[in-house]
Structure formats: structure tokens, C-alpha cells
Amino acid sequence: MIILGIECTAHTFGCGIADDNGNILANVYSEYIPAKGGIHPREAARHHSNVAPKILKDSLKQSKVSISEISGIAISLGPGLGPCLRTGATIARALAIYFNKPLIPINHCVAHIEIAKLMCNAKDPLVVYVSGGNTIIAAYAEGKYRIFGETLDIALGNCLDVFAREAGLPHPGGPRIEKLALKGKKFIPLPYVVKGQDMSFSGLLTAAIRKLREGFSLEDLCYSLQEVAFSMVCEVAERALAHTMKKELILTGGVAANKRLQKMLKDVAKEHGAKFGVVPKEYARDNGAMIAWTGVLAFKSGITIPVENSLIKPRWRLDSIEVPWVESNYEIN
Amino acid sequence: MKLIKKGAEAYLYLDDWYGIKVIRKVRISKQYRVKIFDNYLRKSRTLNEAKLLFSAKSIGVPVPAVFDVDVTNSTIIMEFIPGVLLRDYLPQASNKELRQLFEVIGKYVGLLHSNGIFHGDLTTSNMILCNGKPFLIDFGLGGFSKEIEHLGVDIHLMLRALESTHYKVINECFSAFIKGYSQVFNKYNLVLRKVKEIRLRGRYVIERRVKK
């Protein structure tokens, strides 16, 4: 079985191809980079429709399979930005109708988790998923991925990106902050907000920007911002790990590339005797391969959607989705 | 001194303190945090927790009594509450028992709130059932406030904990909780309205799109 997956929830349009042995046969993507400011949904959607034909062709070429060998089209129907989701869904529906293939609805967050498990060879992990759009700590329990902590407002990656933009750093902001943080020497106290198992980054961002305008050193601020924000993620992850007693901890999403965060979470895992894994960069960021691979799993469980029902779901929560393909020994107390 | 629990934040030791069986709660240094920040966080939470435990005890909410505090070493010496974590007990509890328990817990939380105390981490892992009576523990994330926002977050967290860990019995537990809570705290309506608002702030909440 070979599945074509299409990712288009935010800044990335990607096509991936996966088979049911867990081989990723192709992973091609293009990212919309705004000339200034953040992602403009309409402009991102325009970018996606412009690059789609080429990305699709390239992915087929890379995989060396023809469209006739494809068993189904998997599409990320949400969560994400409406115009982007609509563009991707339109392409997927057209392919499904024209080539008479089943359409498989995939949740973007589930896909991040599934590709993470595949890449790290993990069976039943606690997943720390941190990106520009999401900050979720989740693990499987009885049919669904349950959320054991998330952001109450903006995502971790969003917090870093906006701070970078305010500081006049060029795109992408996260890696620049990471570099500058290495030169930071003085720790500047910033608001640390953990409410139960949830985190809040908006106050931290505002405070960091204010300090920047007050003339504090950018290097020190990058350092402190990272330390405080990552400590919040680590604390919540650590408590989730203690609570669920999972023996694997996996880091994924765009911010997973950050070496400092990797180191901190590795320490957390070590303390609780859990195996630690980081998803390789090209599969940690938004990509089509993760949609394809999750499409394989879903299709095997008989999950498809008629084209006329394949509405996009911009607010599709991770913990609302049944994942019948996950086999786990985890028993909730 | 015997290590009995390695929590995410602190180690709990069973100890003898002038002939009394006590829990020595030590907030441990985290390697992943920078030193200066780690020290600040551990000390402030230790002091905070001790103050909150004392205040909760003085208004009649069952919590461990505080015997001694050593802020420098991030240590609290408190009463040992023998029993079982509510989290572990719930799966075998009957629906009737659940309703009784959560009504009592609702009353305790209502009592805390009407006295300007919020717990900050209301989960079933932070409740011990001792001779049929629930005790609240772990006030490290709590605080003193009468702001409806803070109290609302408390109730929101309770609900979240039920959703992620006790999803099969959530309706039983939460309705009983609210029953007890509303009997004790006269501003319960304001808080419950705030809880709705807090939930709508979350990510990907469908209801947010529905116009009032």
C-alpha cells in the first residue's frame, strides 16, 4: 500500500509518499516566507496554489512511483489557517476524483505524533510537540491522544518568532535567537507562567519585548527568554512523564531543532529513566511525509471520507480524534 | 529517612521529627534549569506552599500540618497523611462514592476560594484519601487571591484533570464537585462563568466560533 499525503495547514505546502512498511518514499515541500511580518493566510494560500503542481510532480519523481500505484490520498484537513487548508483540500479532492482514489482525512497534530513515533522507533511515548502553531504535550490512552499540557495562548515557536521580529532579526527567528542566546551571560528574570499543566507565553513575550525597548542586551534577553520558556515546557513535560509513567519521551515540531531545548528535555528524560528521541529536522517541521504515513495507518483502519463531506476543520482538536491503529499497553488508572 | 516518592518537582521522604512521623518534602534542583533561576523558583515555591498549607489548615480544609520550613534547602516538614492517592482510588470507586467524594472536595475548594486561596494544581494526583476523607496536598503553584480569574483557573484545571485522566466518570465527578462548591462559595456563578471564558481561550475551541 502506498499513500500520497498533502500538508497545507500553515506556511508549508508539502507532498509526501509513504508505504505500509514505514518507508518514506518522498518528502518534498515549499515554505511560504513572508516579506515582512507574520504569515498572511491569503498570501500563504496563494503560495501553496502556485507551488502545488511542481511539489506534487517532484514528490512522485522522487518516490519513483506513478499515480496509478497510489492507494489513497491523505489530506491534512486541520487544524490550521482556513485559506491554506482550503487550497490543499481542493487539490486533494481534485486528485481523488480525477484518479478515482479514496480520500483520507488526517489531523495535522496526529500526523506530527505518528511520524515522530516512526522516526524515533517509539512504541508508546510522551510527545512534546512544539512549533509555531502548537505547543502540546500528549500521550496515548484508550483510543485517543490525550493532552497532558498545552499553551493557553500563543505557541512557543510563535513567541520566539515574534520576539525575533521585534528585535529586527531576519527570518527564521528561532535559530537566530538560539545563536544569540549562546552569547548571553546575564540572566534577566522574565515571567514564568505554568497553570497546572498548561503554559502561557504571551506575558513572557510582552515582558521580553519591553525589556528589549528598555535597552537590555539582546544576547542576554535571547538567553533568558529561551531559558524561561523552555523551563516551562520541561516542567510540564516532566510532570506529564511522572503522571503517565511513559518510558519514552519524544521531541517534535519546528522548535525541536533547538539544541538547548533538546538538551533540557534529554535531562528530564534521563531523570525519569525514559528513552529520549528527537525527530530529524525534515520530519519535525511541517511536511507531507507525516500526512502520508498517518494516511497509511488510518487507511489500514478503514478511515476514508467521501469528497462531498471533506470539509476543512480549522479548529480540529487533537484529543477529539479516535486513533484505532495505535496499539498500546498503557492502562489508565 | 526513607525516600517514598520521587515526584516531578520534589522528593518526599518519610522521616521522624521529634517522635512524630513526618514527610520531608525537598524541592530538588533541576539540572535543566539555569542555577540562579532554579534557586529562585524552588525557594519561592517552598515558602509559598508553607504559607498556603498553614492558611488552608487554619480555615478547616484538610491539608497536612506544617511543622517546619527550611527555605534555604527548599524543604518543608509536614504531617504524614497515610492513604491512597485519589487518582489511584477512583477506578474502583462506585458512582455513589464518586459523587460523595467530589461533593466534599467541591466544598473544600469552595472554602479555600471564599478565603482567598487558590490551589493552582487541582488534580486527583494532589489529593489523598485517608480514612474516607480527602486531603489536599501540593500547594506549590497556588497563591492568595480573590480574583475570579485565579479561582476560575483552579476549577478549569480540575475539569482538565478529569478530562485527561478520568474521562469515563467526568460527569459524575464534576457535577458533584460543583454541587459542593456552590454550597460553600457564594460567588460560584461568577467563577463558573469565568471557567467557560477560560475554556474558550484555549486553542481550537469550536464553540468560540458560535456567535452569542
* Residues A134 and A203 grouped into a single domain: yes
Residues A107 and A232 reside in one and the same domain:
no
Asked if B165 and A332 come within 8 Å (Cβ–Cβ), the reply is yes
Q: What is the DSSP string of A235-276?
A: HHHHHHHHHH--SEEEEESGGGG-HHHHHHHHHHHHHTT-EE
Residues A165, A216 within the same domain: yes
Write out pLDDT tens, residues A284-297: 999 999 999 999 99
- Residue A178 in marked binding region: yes
- The residue of chain A nearest to residue B153, with distances taken between CA atoms, is A195
The residue range of the domain holding A233 is 124-278
- Enumerate helices (H) and strands (E) in chain A, giving the number of each: 10, 12
Which residues in chain B are contacts of A198 at CB distance < 8 A? 157, 160
Residue A13 lies in a domain: yes
Q: What is the mean pLDDT of chain A?
A: 94
- Using the beta-carbon criterion (under 8 Å), do A264 and B202 form an inter-chain contact? no
Contact B87, B98 (CB under 8 A): no
What pLDDT does residue A328 have? 43
What is the pLDDT at residue B206?
59
Partner-chain contact A242 B7, CB within 8 Å: yes
Asked if B154 is an active-site residue, the reply is: no
The model's confidence at residue B207, banded by pLDDT at 50, 70 and 90, is low
Asked if residue A129 and residue A93 are part of one domain, the reply reads: no
pLDDT at A330: 37
Q: Is CATH 1.10.510.10 correct for B84-209? A: yes
Strands A198-199, A248-252: parallel, antiparallel or unpaired by DSSP?
Answer: unpaired
CATH code reported for the domain at B2-79: 3.30.200.20
Asked whether the beta carbons of residue B160 and residue A146 sit closer than 8 angstroms, the reply is no
In angstroms, the Cα distances linking B80 to A210, B126, B128, B138 are 45, 14, 11, 13
Closest approach of A293 to chain B, Cα-based (Å): 24
Q: Does B144 touch chain A (CB under 8 A)?
A: no
Q: Which residues of A touch B198 (CB under 8 A)?
A: 152
ipTM: 0.82
What are the pLDDT digits (tens) for A32-53?
Answer: 998 888 899 999 999 999 999 9
pLDDT digits (tens, 9 = 90+) for A102-150: 999 999 999 999 999 999 999 999 999 999 999 999 999 888 999 888 9
What are the structural domain ranges in chain B? 2-79, 84-209
Evaluate whether residue A326 is within a structural domain: no
| B196 reaches A (C-beta below 8 A) | no
Same domain for A94 and A210, yes or no, is no
Within-domain flag for A325: no
Q: How many domains does the structure of chain A reveal? A: 2
Residues A302 and A272 reside in one and the same domain: no
The CATH code of the domain that includes A147 is: 3.30.420.40
Q: Do A164 and A69 sit in the same domain of this protein?
A: no
Chain B residues with CB under 8 Å of A147 CB are 164
Work out the average pLDDT over B7-24. 93
- Residue A140 domain-assigned? yes
For residue B183, CA distances in Å to A18, A240, A291, B156, B172 come to 57, 33, 50, 18, 17
Q: What's the whole-model pTM score?
A: 0.89
> Per the residue annotation, which of B38, B68, B70, B121 is the catalytic one?
B121
Cβ of B204 within 8 Å of Cβ of A315? The answer is yes
Give DSSP secondary structure letters for A125-192: -EEEEE-SS-EEEEEEETTEEEEEEEBSSS-HHHHHHHHHHHTTPPSSHHHHHHHHHTT--SPPP---
